[in-house]
Amino acid sequence: MKTHRCVWVVPTRGQSCTQKSDTRAAEYSSVCHRWDSVQVELQGVGKTYDGDSWAVRGLKLGIPSGSIFGLIGPNGAGKSTTLRMMATLMPPTEGAVLLDGEDCSVNPLAARRRIGFLGDGNPLYKQMTPAEYLRLFGQCFRIDRAELELAIDETLAAFDLSGKRDTECGALSKGMRQRLLIARCLLHKPGLLILDEPADGLDPRGRSDLRKTLAKISERGVTIVISSHILRELDDLCDQVGIIQRGQLVVAGAVSEIIDSHEVSRFVYELRMLELPCRDRAIEILSRERILIEGSGEIENQHFIRMQVQGGESLMADILARLVGAGVKIVTCSRQRSRLEDVYDRLSENQVN
């Protein structure tokens, strides 16, 4: 069993409670900077609830330790069932879930100590403060009292919630509540973090903050498994993905390898300009490039061109340089369709947003 050095910090004269908390958080962070990561393997995993129809079946999947794995599929494809079996909350009807080569069904309690799981629709206790909420779950994991207080300070600081430590959870914004839920999953320093549709209901700012949070968690070596039916939430975040449909795994592996194997090299960009002559001039120039114009028009008092670029981002950069050099005044250039969406279009029935 792993042990962690406990550090007692006594505030010096004139040091505030906040300073004491920050000092303890920094000390705890230095002790537990990088956590153990977990390798996950599904061996022919299947689940039936009625003994007749199968929610998922025959899942064979390997998730490398330290990776960010995205499970993609439409609602009802079997994502939540798969994640709950992975988190040991639901036993598979057939097959096995392995963490670092060990079957979770042999000792599920020991496996759970290595897992942080956030399911769909997890509530908060609205009358509790973030510190009280984390303390409750830390006690559930039987974390030593002194170490728990250090962990609470470090976790609140890591998730930018120190300033809300004594605010009731019911008064927090939705983005803050979501950060607190994820923070709870990491309090016991698991090597595997499983998140079921964590961006559901978040506004664009909340989704952006979530991506940054997951990137920071990944830097500590934690293996992250995240599900979504919205591909843009996972594009450029995951290094491994799996596409599931009707309970069957369609494809899984490294994002770059999947894109290469399915010859997806198409990017869709949208250019926006303030003046109509600039748009017309841009269309004239683009007609000589290796692109396909999907459409043009006016939106939000701006003129736009939407186009497919048969190549990578470097080609788009060259095209932009030529447009600007020709005097075309471009307000924005944004990629409209992710590469994962292109892969999905080729492999499935286009049921994902």
* Span 190-221, pLDDT tens digits: 999 999 988 877 777 878 888 888 888 998 89
| pLDDT tens track for 246-303 | 999 998 988 888 877 776 556 789 999 999 999 999 999 999 988 889 899 998 889 9
| Average confidence score pLDDT of the chain | 84
Q: What is the pLDDT of residue 201?
A: 74
| pLDDT tens track for 234-248 | 777 888 999 998 999
Does residue 26 have a pLDDT over 70?
no
Q: Where are the domain boundaries for CATH 3.30.70.260 in the chain?
A: 266-347
The C-alpha atoms of residue 33 and residue 40 are separated, in whole angstroms, by: 22
Are residues 148 and 138 in contact, defined by beta-carbon separation less than 8 angstroms? yes
For 266-347, the fitting CATH number among 3.30.70.260, 1.10.3720.10, 3.30.360.10, 3.40.190.80 is 3.30.70.260
What's the rounded mean pLDDT across residues 312-316? 84
Name the CATH topology of 17-36+71-256.
Answer: Rossmann fold (3.40.50)
Q: What is the pLDDT of residue 18?
A: 44
Q: What is the pLDDT of residue 108?
A: 92
Q: What is the pLDDT of residue 125?
A: 92
Q: Where are the domain boundaries for CATH 3.40.50.300 in the chain?
A: 17-36+71-256
Neighbours of 244 (CB within 10 A): 24
Q: What is the pTM of this model?
A: 0.74
| 124 alpha-carbon distance from chain centroid | 20
Does residue 177 have a pLDDT over 70?
yes
Q: Could you tell me the CA-to-CA distances from 129 to 18, 145, 161, 171, 180 in Å, in that order?
A: 16, 18, 11, 9, 10
350 Cβ contact partners less than 8 Å away, ≥ 6 residues apart: 344
| pLDDT tens track for 123-158 | 789 999 999 999 999 999 899 998 999 999 999 998
Q: How many CA atoms lie within 13 A of 143 on its CB side?
A: 25
Least confident of 24-28, 66-70, 145-149, 332-336: 24-28
Does residue 310 have a pLDDT over 60?
yes
